Amino acid sequence: MLLKLVALIGSLRKDSYNLHLVQTMEERYKDKFSIEYADIRSLPHYDQDEEESAPSSVAELAAQVREADGVIIVTPEYNWSFSAVVKNALDWLSRNDRPMTGKPTLAAGVSPFMMGTLRAQQHLRDVLMSPGIAAKTLPAGGNEILITFAKDKFTGDRLTDESTLTFLDTVVDKFVAMANETKVAQRA
């Protein structure tokens, strides 16, 4: 069954490796899921005073997440954490009807450096487990998509490194199985 996923991309750069990873996934796994891109660039900074009357961009993001079968968050690492635009989006999504609760969520990240996005994803996992978000993730320890030395693994705008793609296939298959199980359980 084809899943409907929404992607939050933590780099706003138009030629971002993180964007290119999502584009690679969209093309490579088109028989497993479709991807809708969330516009997290247009979100205002989270402000509790505006929480109850949030701007339309916040309502649109919440609706995208609520209607999706799962979420993909792909982020670079900035100062040992994930990007501020992702944090801002998650802060908005942790309020009101909390559409991330129980939502299958896959984290990934691409970096031009050796450590990849290790610290960013550790921090992101902590946030995803917080009570306001409570997303459903694959267990840590072997399911982290940490793509290092990006310039050596991408050709143009696509991930082409075979060993990385093989690993990605394995993790994506586990995520798709989890998302499908969640979808079936929600129907019951």
Q: Is 115's pLDDT higher than 80?
A: yes
Q: Into how many domains does the chain fold?
A: 1
12/83 Cα distance (integer angstroms): 10
Give residue 187's pLDDT band: very low, low, confident or very high (50, 70, 90): confident
114/60 Cα distance (integer angstroms): 36
The amino acid at 70: G
CATH code, 148: 3.40.50.360
Structural domain that includes position 134: 3-187
Q: Is 67's pLDDT higher than 90?
A: yes
What phi, psi does 155 have (nearest 5°)? -120, 115
What percent of the chain is predicted at pLDDT more than 70?
A: 100
Q: Is 81's pLDDT higher than 90?
A: yes
First to last CA, the chain: 16
Q: Is 188's pLDDT higher than 80?
A: no
pTM attached to this predicted model: 0.96
Q: Is 133's pLDDT higher than 80?
A: yes
